[in-house]
Amino acid sequence: MNLKKLLVLPIFLILISSISVALAMWSETLKINVTVNTGEVDAEIVRAYVDDDIPPPTIKPDYNGTPNAWPNCTNFNYTGEGWVAVIKGDIDFEELDKDVAWAEAWTEDTDGDGDNDTAYVKIHNGYPGYMVWLSLEVDNVGTIPIFIDYYVVNGTTLTKEEIEENNLVFLDANGNCEPEVLIQLYNLLGEQIDPGQGRESSWRIVVLQPASENSEYVISVKLVAVQWNESIYYGKK
């Protein structure tokens, strides 16, 4: 009786180990290593140019611009960066007989990634009526197609549809409904820019009559670029 009991345990162990060996022999692990190299959404201002970039006196006279539309108080919204009104209209302009003001534009890489992400424009000795053209060229220097979805002008977000309908952006520094500066924006929005490609846009900047002498006005425009399939314009044509 005791012998039988003693034999059961070794037999059971041998049986188990045999099965385990058999299982080990009949199994195999296959491995698939997947490496995902992600692309890059990256845009650069490759060129910022103003048409009046030589200090006077030159033989090239200034331009005088006058908007053919003027905002009223209800058009203005406070954005935290000043008062902004966006209305429909155009700018009438004429060549003057003197070279008085001038402007300069340059680009900088502010985040140190090797691409110029910021354009600076400086107008010197401005006066009411002075108008200058700013030309911007934006390239897709990443590896993924992009759209520029929005302009954000002094805190006001503008889409392609809004720019196409109303493209005169009036900026009022002190909230008295008397804007001092105007930008006429042209569209850079809603067009797919593939890697290696670029788009150019030309804006007009006008100093308006309420501008004060010896003062300084600041405008900030942000261009928000996103990967093409996340764009608000993706699939719209």
Partner 1 sequence: MKNSTYYACTILAVVLLFVVLSNVAYAMWSETLHVNMKMSMGEFDTRICCYRVLTCCHHCNVTSQLSDNSKALFVSFENLHPGWTGWVALIICNKGTLPAELIGTSVTIVEASDDIEDHFHYEIHYYGPLKIHDLKNIRCCHLPLPFNSSLPIQFDPGQKVLVLIELHIDALYHGEGELDTVFTIRTSLWH
Phi, psi dihedrals of residue 12, rounded to the nearest 5°: -60, -40
| Neighbouring residues of 65: CB distance < 8 A, sequence distance ≥ 6 | 91, 92, 93, 129, 130, 131, 182, 204, 206
Hey, is 230 helix, strand or coil? helix
Hey, is 168 helix, strand or coil? strand
In the complex, minimum distance from the CB of residue 228 to partner 1, in angstroms, rounded to a whole number: 10
In the complex, minimum distance from the CB of residue 139 to partner 1, in angstroms, rounded to a whole number: 10
String marking each residue 135-174 x if it binds partner 1 according to CB under 8 A: -x-x---x-x-x----------------------------
Q: Which is nearer to partner 1, 85 or 225 (CB)?
A: 225
Instruction: Kindly determine how many residues on this chain lie close enough to bind partner 1 according to the rule CB under 8 A.
Output: 53
Contact 136, 116 (CB under 8 A): no
Task: Give the number of other Cβ atoms within 10 Å of residue 6's Cβ.
Answer: 9
Q: Is residue 126 part of the contact set for partner 1 (CB under 8 A)? A: yes
Q: Which is nearer to partner 1, 20 or 157 (CB)?
A: 157
- Cβ neighbourhood burial of 237 (10 Å; 0-12, 13-18, 19+): exposed
Range in contact with partner 1 (rule: CB under 8 A) among 1-9, 74-82, 128-136, 156-164: 128-136
Q: Which of 49, 51, 60, 64 binds partner 1 (CB under 8 A)?
A: 64
> Interface residues with partner 1 (CB under 8 A)?
41-45, 48, 64, 96-98, 100-101, 110, 117-129, 134, 136, 138, 142, 144, 146, 181, 205, 207, 211-227, 230
